[in-house]
Amino acid sequence: MSRKWISFPIREGDCSRQAHCDLPTGTYEREMGREGFFGPTAHLHHKHPPTGWVDWQGPLRPHAFNFNRIASERDCPLQAPLALHNGDLKLRVWKTHGAMRHLVRNADGDELLFVHEGAGHFYCDFGHLEYRDGDYLMIPRGTAWRIEPVQPTFMLLIESTDGAYMLPEKGLVGPQAIFDLAVLEHPRLDDAFKAQQDENPWQVRIKRRNQISTVTYPYNPLDVVGWHGDNTVVRLNWRDIRPLMSHRYHLPPSAHTTFVANGFVVCTFTPRPVESDPGVLKVPFFHNNDDYDEVLFYHRGNFFSRDNIEAGMVTLHPCGFPHGPHPKALKKSQENPATFADEVAVMIDARHALEIGEAAAGVDVPEYVNSWRAPGA
């Protein structure tokens, strides 16, 4: 049966003419939105900050995790500690410094690797490419691969369980916006790939239904001599992303979507000028995104809307309560706004509730829930 959202603009009381701009004096705007900024919205103007709580009890709460403290050094990425998960995705954290002497293959879903630190060589069924910090490596389900770091490597592993990664529709701005497909790189059957082929025994460790099986070959299975098609590993670095911007309007996170999967999206926040119009919000707006759990991994830079957050940390804002800039960040944006946001972060918006794994629970920052308190509260 066809259906349609009830959609007509209603105005009540003292409110702004447009979202995120020229707010009534002394008010704090809160956006209540559906379907990850794509559905119906309402913008409410409050006398007090929507995050001005002084006490919080119960299991629903904002979290901050310091992934730097997770003991995640492993020789095999399939054994990387599970941090956050639901039926659509699994987020793991993996640190390694030595060359993998085996191959891995994920038969449960596609992998998206984000290289937080390090550099090295990536070998797979399709060939060889080099990786560095800030790279995304999108690996189709069933691909055999391994890495040889030349620098100690720290990665996020984002599994799209039983699903694939695709690109967002870019609509009116056209296919070259945000990043041109011409910047995407794929593995090559180069001299480095050919040099690693040998006749020695190699293991392929395969994950299926979260169980690992090991298959041994008397030779290196990365022995391809040629291939054709469009199902392959893809590399994208955040430095090649040119974010959408508006000097008169603070764009929602959905404008920074990089990859789309079943039940979640991956967005990339990259350095950009801050909005310059005098009446526009210059920090993320307070919002309830009541259909999605929001995860932010802080990669590098000055995280201008958060206090006491360092590179390698992660925040989780489950749906069900408002969140937004911390008090000091909001005050600075009003009194002495920055002109440039020098930060890089990876956001995962998950349609279904995320569970906190043992690895993340062990590095939870319990005082994070109180970080929105106004000074002296």
Binding positions are: 287, 293, 323
Q: How many whole angstroms separate alpha carbon 278 and alpha carbon 216?
A: 64
Quickly list DSSP for 49-91: -TT--S---SS---EEEEGGGS--B-S-GGGSPEEEE-SSEEE
What are the backbone dihedrals phi and psi of residue 174, each rounded to the nearest 5 degrees, phi first?
90, 165
Q: Which residues contribute to the annotated binding site for homogentisate?
A: 323
Question: What is the number of residues in the chain?
Answer: 377
Q: Which residues are annotated as a binding site for Fe cation?
A: 287, 293, 323
Side chain identity at residue 166, one-letter code: M
Active site residue 85: no
Q: Where are the beta strands (DSSP E) in 219-360?
A: 234-237, 257-261, 264-269, 272-273, 286-289, 293-301, 313-317, 340-341, 343-350, 355-356
**How far is the C-alpha of 377 from the C-alpha of 21, rounded, in Å?**
28
Find the catalytic residue in 20, 63, 128, 250: 250
Could you give the CA distance from residue 32 to residue 43 in angstroms, rounded to a whole number? Answer: 6
Query: Which stretches of 292-365 are assigned E, i.e. beta strand?
Result: 293-301, 313-317, 340-341, 343-350, 355-356
Tokens of 327: 């008090």
Q: Name the residues annotated as catalytic.
A: 250
